[in-house]
Amino acid sequence: MGNSFTCISHEEEQRPTKSSAGRGKGGSKTRKYMRRLSLSCSGSSSTSSSKKGVIRPKKKIRERHHQDHHGHDKNSHIIQEQTLAATNLLFNQTPRNSNYVVPPNFRQSTSSSGGSGPVSAVQSPKKSTCGFVRTSSSRRKSSVNPVIKPNQELKKVEVSETKRFVLVHGGGFGAWCWYRTITLLEKHGFQVDAVDLTGSGISSTDTNTITSLAHYSKPLLHFLESLKPNEKVILVGHDFGGACISYAMEMFPTKISKAVFISAVMLANGQSTLDLFNQPLGSNDLIQQAHIFLYANGKKNPPTAVDYDRSLLRDFIFDKSPPKDLALSSVSMRPFPFAPVVEKLHVSEKNYGSIRRFYITTMEDCAIPVPLQEAMIKLNPPEQVFQLKGADHAPFFSRPQSLNRILVEIAKLPFKKSS
């Protein structure tokens, strides 16, 4: 299980071409100076001057401004962005209608307390950076292309069953990890809420005291219970958050329009998360090394929480994510409870089975490898599967805009009448 973030759009650089305007005979220095001064003060949209005194059309000015922004001001822009993100997320931005987040993983420890490529089917077997061989999928692929071109924007959603998303973080994360997704979805007309599960984010609960999936999911359940009688939401779960939204689907089937699993635990009835990772497909050396078991009740008793080895976060979860998102996660993640990991999920066809499910596969994932994701899909088939190329276990960081496109596509799928 894992976490991380960011996406950098690559804009095609344009070289400004020299204009012959303003080089005619008879133009005195004083006249040129007065003309440039007049243009700069009046905000004329026709022409402007460069620092060499050459009159250029407005279009060229925009190109120059674009280059300056991505050239000389690049470093200051990155610093400002990092500062704003860290400040807003860690101190000012309280998760919407919820609490904050925590991080976890699996390896024994002496600690006794919790301290864009296109969306398509895989064309041929390819070995991932995690050492797994990817297999082809016969499931229906998405028609959306997650590659975002510079300045390309999605149209605001016009028709959908609901315009409200509820985002549920994975193990060790918190509502803070969704900051990019929240911004993008709201920009396109959606209402977005991100919850902090118990013991995660800004929650003051000690992770070691959480003893059940119901306890861990309590903030999410309270949120759904507070919705208006006829209001529905699109429920999105990442990582271990998949088990939490599955539990909520069984408890509040009439409140959920669609459920989206993003590289998430998607359990079948009677299955636990530990059962999944005990399969040969769900284990590798990196997974075992990255997780650390915590024993708040002593080593003679079962573990109480799971944490991540911070030195392995980059390789395990954030392999494709920007350094600033890795840094944010390193100081924000908390351990996650162990009891819900071993708890078997019990769901029914009447409740859980009545909700439309969608799965988003992250193709460069080392925390929940592609073979394990495909095994979950095969055992418990959703309505549709999307493949997000170039995404690590934290697509909200590594491929935020591509992820947003898929979420918008899912939201716009027409209402499916029951037969």
Cα separation, 75 vs 292, whole angstroms: 37
Cα separation, 140 vs 25, whole angstroms: 68
Given the residues 169, 196, 238, 239, the one annotated as active site: 239
- Tokens 């059962």 correspond to 275
Pairing mode, if any, of strands 256-262 and 233-238? Answer: parallel
Alpha carbon distances (Å) from 232 to 51, 97, 101, 227, 331: 57, 16, 24, 8, 34
- With beta carbons less than 8 A apart as the criterion, state whether 127 and 140 touch: no
CA 42 to chain centre: 44
Q: DSSP for 234-290?
A: EEEEETTHHHHHHHHHHH-GGGEEEEEEES---PPTTB-HHHHHTSGGG--HHHHHH
Per the annotation, the verdict on 365 as an active-site residue is: yes
Cα separation, 158 vs 412, whole angstroms: 8
- With beta carbons less than 8 A apart as the criterion, state whether 4 and 326 touch: yes
Q: Could you tell me the sign of the dihedral formed by the alpha carbons of 100, 314, 5, 137, in that order?
A: negative
Taking alpha carbons only, the member of 292, 173, 318 closest to residue 241 is 173
Q: Which residues of 261-272 are buried (b: 16+ CB within 10 A; e: fewer)?
A: bbbbbbbeeebb
Q: How many CB atoms lie within 10 A of CB 20?
A: 8
Say whether 384 sits in a helix, a strand or coil: strand
Given the residues 169, 238, 291, 393, the one annotated as active site: 393
Q: How many CB atoms lie within 10 A of CB 370?
A: 25
Report residue 88 as tokens.
Answer: 């807003």
Given the residues 193, 307, 319, 365, the one annotated as active site: 365
Alpha-carbon torsion angle 94, 98, 103, 106, nearest 10: 180
Per the annotation, the verdict on 206 as an active-site residue is: no
Per the annotation, the verdict on 68 as an active-site residue is: no
Cα separation, 90 vs 175, whole angstroms: 11
Say whether 214 sits in a helix, a strand or coil: helix
- With beta carbons less than 8 A apart as the criterion, state whether 142 and 392 touch: no
Counting every residue written for the chain, the total comes to 419
Residue numbers annotated as active site? 239, 365, 393
